[in-house]
Amino acid sequence: MDKNLLENENRNINFFILNSMDDWVRIIDERGEVAFINDALKDALKKSPKLKVYLDENIDLIISNSNSIATDTTMIEEKLIDGKYYSIKSSPIYLGDTFTGTIEVYRDITSESILKIDLYNANKAMLDDIRFVRRIQSSILPKNGTYGKINLSGIYNPADDVSGDIYDLIRIDENRTAFYIADVMGHGVKASIMTMFLKVTMSAIFDKHPDFTPSQVFLNLRKKFTRLHIDSSQYFTAWLGIFDFRDNSLAFSNAGHNCPPLIFSKEKNEAEYLLVTGRMISNIIEPDEYIEKKLNLHPGDKILFYTDGAIEAKNEEGNEFGLERLKDTFSESCNLAYVHEKVTSYNWQAMDDDLTLALIEYEKKEENEA
CATH number at residue 171: 3.60.40.10
Whether residues 107 and 158 fall in one domain = no
In a domain, 285, yes or no: yes
CA distance 236 to 70: 60
In a domain, 127, yes or no: no
Whether residues 48 and 160 fall in one domain = no
In a domain, 34, yes or no: yes
Average pLDDT score over the chain: 85
Domain count, the chain: 2
In a domain, 121, yes or no: no
CA 207 to chain centroid: 34
Residue 159 pLDDT level (bands cut at 50, 70, 90): low
The radius of gyration of the chain's CA atoms, rounded to the nearest angstrom, is 35
Q: Would you state the pLDDT for residue 164?
A: 84
Out of 112-116, 186-190, 355-359, the most confident range is: 355-359
SS3 percent helix, strand, coil of the chain, rounded to 5, is 35, 30, 30
Whether residues 211 and 109 fall in one domain = no
Whether residues 88 and 159 fall in one domain = no
Reference 140, options 197, 207, 178, 196; nearest CA is 196
CA distance 286 to 299: 38
Whether residues 90 and 197 fall in one domain = no
Could you tell me the CATH number of the domain that includes residue 106? 3.30.450.20
Is 221 a residue whose pLDDT tops 90?
A: yes
Is 369 a residue whose pLDDT tops 50?
A: no
CA distance 219 to 255: 10
**What residues make up the domain containing 342?**
140-362
Long-range contacts, stretch 225-233, CB < 8 angstroms, 24+ apart: 225/197, 225/201, 225/281, 225/282, 225/283, 226/283, 228/197, 230/283, 232/282, 232/283, 232/284, 233/185
Whether residues 144 and 32 fall in one domain = no
CA distance 363 to 297: 9
Is 126 a residue whose pLDDT tops 90?
A: no
Q: Find out whether 202 and 214 touch, Cβ atoms under 8 Å.
A: no
Q: Find out whether 25 and 40 touch, Cβ atoms under 8 Å.
A: yes
In a domain, 368, yes or no: no
Q: Would you state the pLDDT for residue 220?
A: 95
> Beta-carbon neighbour count of residue 227 at 10 Å?
9
Whether residues 270 and 155 fall in one domain = yes
Whether residues 154 and 92 fall in one domain = no
Q: Find out whether 312 and 320 touch, Cβ atoms under 8 Å.
A: yes
In a domain, 159, yes or no: yes
Q: Find out whether 89 and 76 touch, Cβ atoms under 8 Å.
A: yes
Q: Would you state the pLDDT for residue 96?
A: 82
Whether residues 65 and 181 fall in one domain = no
Whether residues 109 and 154 fall in one domain = no
Out of 9-13, 132-136, 166-170, 187-191, the most confident range is: 166-170
pLDDT tens digits, 29-70: 888 888 898 898 899 888 887 788 777 776 666 555 555 545
pLDDT tens digits, 239-297: 999 999 999 999 999 999 999 999 998 777 789 999 999 999 988 877 678 999 999 99
In a domain, 253, yes or no: yes
Whether residues 247 and 315 fall in one domain = yes
Q: Would you state the pLDDT for residue 351?
A: 66
Whether residues 85 and 151 fall in one domain = no
> Beta-carbon neighbour count of residue 340 at 10 Å?
18
CA distance 126 to 124: 5
Residue 302 pLDDT level (bands cut at 50, 70, 90): very high
CA distance 231 to 113: 37
In a domain, 270, yes or no: yes
